Amino acid sequence: MSNSELATSYAALILADDDVEVTPDKLQTLIKAANIDDVEPIWTTLFAKALEGKNIKDMLLNVGSGGGTAAAPTGGAGGGATEAAPEEVKEEKKEEEKEESDEDMGFGLFD
């Protein structure tokens, strides 16, 4: 990551921490206040557009959570169905683990 990108990232984090909207002008103001002169305005514009309408704090909190989420059940069963779904997934994972351990009986392909 170049100094320009790094400076713009830090400026965006500072604005988000103060609950201020991230705009190119505000990013550029923070960067100039930090005496960093080699940041081209394109970086502040790109970052502001990329972060537009997004909550940066939520993005930071969900960094390790992965990309996808489970699909919601399509049946009309109500609240009980949503509680049962994670249990079914856990049971399926346990069954898969048992199958994998049964297959590995110490025999190799060329033994």
Nearest to 9 by CA among 62, 37, 63, 46: 46
**pLDDT category of residue 93 using cuts at 50, 70 and 90:** low
Tokens of 22: 């991230």
Q: Is residue 97 scored above 70 in pLDDT?
A: no
Q: What is the mean pLDDT of residues 29-37?
A: 90
More confident residue, 74 or 25: 25
Can you give the pLDDT at residue 33? 92
